[in-house]
Amino acid sequence: MSDYDNTNRGALFKNDKEKESQPDFRGPINIDGKDYQLSAWSKSSDKTGKYLSLAIQPAKPKEVAATNSDEAPF
């Protein structure tokens, strides 16, 4: 078990995009102990120059491996 506390921290990673509309970067972020998915798009504007546009949504729950009741426990 790690002693590292990820509360109020996150990371962005380059996204392998299949469509131009998908985010350039994605990654997990934790806010006040709750997990979210952070997405970022690289954009530019004549007024501000280059910037990142962000979106956040609740993290999808990790799928629990399905167990087959016909199998004997080990």
Please check whether residue 64 lies inside any domain of the structure: no
Model-level pTM greater than 0.85?
Answer: no
* Residue 54, domain extent: 19-58
How far, in Å, CA of 17 to CA of 33, rounded? 29
Please check whether residue 63 lies inside any domain of the structure: no
If one counts the domains in the chain, the total is 1
Please check whether residue 69 lies inside any domain of the structure: no
How far, in Å, CA of 48 to CA of 43, rounded? 10
How far, in Å, CA of 28 to CA of 36, rounded? 6
β-pair type (49-58, 34-45): antiparallel
- N-term to C-term CA, the chain: 25
Digit-by-digit pLDDT tens for the chain (74 residues) are 567 888 999 999 999 999 999 999 999 999 999 999 999 999 999 999 999 999 999 998 877 655 555 555 54
